[in-house]
Chains A and B, each alone.
Chain A
Amino acid sequence: MRKAATVQELPGVSQSKTEVRSQAFAWSDLASRLRPYLYLAPALICFVLFFFYPIGSIIYLSFQDWSLINLEQMEWVGLQNYQDLMKDGDFHQVLGNTAVFTIATVGIGLTLSFLLALWLNKKAKVYGIIQATVFSPHIISLVSVSMLWMWLMDPQFGLLNAGLEAVGLPAYTWLTDPKSSLLSLIIVSIWKGVGYNTLIFIAGLQSIPGDIYEAAALDQSPWWRTLRRITIPMLSPTIFFLLIINTISSFQAFDTIAIMTQGGPINSTNMLVYYIYEQGMDFYNGGIASAASVILLILVGILTAVHFLVMSKRVHYR
């Protein structure tokens, strides 16, 4: 009874009491209400200018015929750019290359990382040193990594072929043959990324409570069953996260291609971002490049959406 009365009285009371004060209060109240938005403003303005607006812009640009030479000249062509892309055999190959590269890099890379993590997840200092060693390529510029591997893979003087010859095997073609060039890029990507993935896996393994393993040991669970029934299920959030992140970053592959192969030989290592770059910056096909960008955006967008959906579910179940 009493409570209801106080709550109802409230607005009337605060209005009828000293008016000057309530007005002064309204100002400071307004300021404190606006404060979080003011604090967010600089960052949000940057995001709008360099993220959200460009996303709208790229979709718009994909319906235009335009080039970087003369930005004033734009012509609405509807879906023409997309139709051109669909008809373009090179683009089909680019999509195929991107798919093969992504599946191989993510599949082989994550499997290797997982095995390494199971092995290296130990307390002794050596393991920590090896972890850091395996991780080190990840912080090195892709420019250096690419040039280093170009040198290692050099068909005439490279160390890899020297090694093959030393054990009596024939020299390999590496980057020079369309049959082996994509594989060579996959090897470089895995070498660069395996350390990062291993460390994330180790972080995941360490977050599994130890008593679960003790319980499994008491139940005399063999190691492979422990792995299948306990480790992998408990690690599934980590596995999922790495799948998404690695797939997105494989879609982005650019530096290695630009430095090591320029998409060749015969388009065999051309992938989405490099294709967009070539079309937009070298061939001045702004419309085609924009349409390809939108396709990439959709792919990444789907992965992001899946990631968020699964993450929000996981939050609910916990």
Chain B
Amino acid sequence: MYRVVLASRKTVEWIGLLIVAFLFVFPFLWMASTAFKTMPEVRQFPPTLLPETWEWSNFAQAWESGPFLMYTWNSILVAVGILILQFLTAVPAAYAFARYKFPGRNLLFGLVLIVLMIPGQVIFLPIYVQLSGWGLVNTLWSLILPYAASAFGIFLLRQAFMQVPDEVIEAARLDNASEWKIMWTIMVPMAKPVLVTFGLFSFIYHWNDYFWPLIMTNSDEVRTLPIGISSLHMSDGGTLWNVMMAGNMILILPILVIFFVAQRHIIKAFIYQSK
């Protein structure tokens, strides 16, 4: 009797797990399925689960509906450019916070925490005004420069640097390494896991970002992939759901691939935010 109850409880739990998985996976599968359908099949009722004819041309149509090669290139330039700048600004700052005692350290670190908490959406207007004053609005710089320093990156790296034993740094000093050299040849390699984690976080965030490029740019030459994709549904007449979904597949595929390869790192990256 007891065993039957146990077994049925287990079954119920498995069904529950399947439902949860379904709720979060199925929409993406539906996106993929739609992306391959012809428009008549998209409008068909009841809907078909899998496409009857595989319409690969949807992808080509999405890709050719705008300068998507340029969007993609811009997306890569912006995400990678931001990553490099954030790395270059965060490493020395985190090193200073983690390894030196100096007047004002706590105050300055408090400022970093404030930056960490308050989102850019609150102050985009004055930044726009400022950048337009410098003539940078509607350039890739307007997408990169405001994110050149990451409070989150400084915060994460500082913690990693604080865990390096003092003796290792002292040994490097005895080996006649300058502070600058210690930072880049000892500390940075030791913080590699955290750097990878942060790099993934930053890249995904800026690859996906829609708000900032929407505000700062208005011409195709400097727009990024999310903007290009979002303009797909504003195209002529009836909504071409199949082309739209195909376009979105292009946008999310790189992220999904990264997610499958580096799932543990990515989950860690996002969980770190809470510490």
**Which A residues contact B (CB, under 8 angstroms)?**
33, 35-40, 42-44, 46-47, 49-55, 57-58, 61, 68, 71, 116, 119, 126-127, 129-144, 147-152, 154, 156-157, 159, 162, 166, 191, 195-196, 199-200, 203, 238, 241-242, 245, 248-249, 252, 254-255, 258-259, 273, 276-277, 280-281, 286, 289-290, 293, 296-297, 300-301, 303-304, 307-308
Contact = CB atoms under 8 A, between A and B. Distances in A.
Q: How large is the interface on B (under 10, 10 to 19, 20 to 34, 35 or more residues)?
A: 35 or more
A143 B230 contact: yes
A126 to B, nearest CB: 6
Contact of B229 (A58, A143, A242): A143
B214 interface: yes
Contacts of A301: 118
Contacts of B63: none
Contact of A130 (B20, B95, B207): B20
Given A142-B208, A152-B30, 20 more contacts: A40-B108, A50-B149, A61-B129, A68-B128, A132-B263, A133-B24, A137-B24, A141-B252, A144-B229, A147-B229, A147-B230, A147-B248, A148-B248, A157-B43, A157-B47, A238-B274, A242-B274, A248-B119, A290-B126, A307-B117
B121 A133 contact: no
B2 interface: no
A141 B24 contact: no
Identify whether the interface residues of A are mostly helix, strand, loop, or mixed.
helix
A296 B122 contact: yes
Contacts of B113: 308
Given A33-B102, A35-B179, A297-B123, A116 B20 contact: yes
A57 B131 CA distance: 13
Contacts of B132: 68, 71
Interface in B61-110: 88-90, 92-93, 95-97, 100, 102, 105, 108
B233 A147 contact: yes
Given A143-B229, A152-B27, A289 B125 contact: yes
